[in-house]
Amino acid sequence: MPVKPFPSIHAFILGGGRSQRANRDKAFLRYQGRYFIDIVIECASSLFGGVTLVGRRYDHHKLDAQYPDDVDGVGPLGGILTALRRTDSRLNFFTAIDYPFIDRGVVSFLAERALSQVTRIDGLIPVMPDGMHPLFAFYSRTCLQAVERCIARNHYRVRCITGYARIEYFDVMSTDLSAERRLGPERLERNFVNINSYEEYLDRIGEE
């Protein structure tokens, strides 16, 4: 049975740019012959009602829109601000482009959880054994004021949002919803691997 789509959720891909640690543009690193940016766009477009790229320009037929960051110099929080100012969807999925192992089944599982809690929370950040993943998360439009407060106070870490909004830290591996039994621990852990440096890219993937 195919994974069901979530037409009420909009996906925003945070385009980032040239990573200092990777010493190159991670969007155009390859996995199985495909650019990271293409992998993420195509996965998101297969699940959600629309896909928007924030923070860069890129030509892809499955993108609905593209926007530069409204505020420069504040990191990914600027991309989230830009997205929440423009979204018409109550709930929105956010991911960075350096998650090349993004898995439709894992994202679908998280989307189901986020939708089930949408009336009582403003967002959902998955937590794995390696820590929280605020750039692979769900944020409601109601997080906009929280993001604006963080930027106004010069607090640019994405987790700052949690101080001003109702965010669920969702322990993916320990949940009673059987994510580990349903998807398997290896599949879950692989989904949340993000590539932070070129050395890590060569170690894990090794394509040129």
Average pLDDT over residues 5-17: 90
In percent, how much of the chain has pLDDT > 70? 90
Mean pLDDT of 98-119: 95
Residue 123 pairs with which residues in a beta bridge? 139, 167
Range 159-176 average pLDDT? 90
Cβ-contact 121, 168 below 8 angstroms = yes
Q: What pLDDT shows up at residue 120? A: 95
For the entire predicted model, the pTM comes to 0.92
- Over residues 185-201, the pLDDT tens digits come to 889 999 999 998 888 99
Predicted confidence (pLDDT) per residue in 137-166, tens digit: 999 999 999 999 999 999 999 999 999 999
Given a cut of 90, is residue 175 above it in pLDDT? no
- Mean pLDDT along residues 87-112: 96
Q: How far apart are CA 61 and CA 42, in angstroms?
A: 10
pLDDT in the model for residue 181: 66
pLDDT in tens, 52-69: 999 999 999 999 999 999
Is 60 exceeded by the pLDDT of residue 178? no
Domain map of the chain by residue range?
6-204
| Interacting residues of 200 by C-beta distance below 8 A, sequence separation 6+ | none
Q: Which of 146, 131, 142, 150 is nearest to 194 (CA)?
A: 131
Q: What is the pLDDT of residue 2?
A: 54
- Whether the predicted pLDDT of 179 surpasses 90: no
Terminal alpha carbon distance of the chain: 35
**Which region among 39-43, 44-48, 203-207 has the lowest average model confidence (pLDDT)?**
203-207
Mean pLDDT value across residues 166-172? 94
Return the CATH superfamily for domain 6-204: Spore Coat Polysaccharide Biosynthesis Protein SpsA; Chain A (3.90.550.10)
pLDDT of residue 206: 75
The pLDDT value recorded for residue 3 is 57
Q: For residue 198, what pLDDT is reported? A: 87
Place of tokens 């580990």: 180
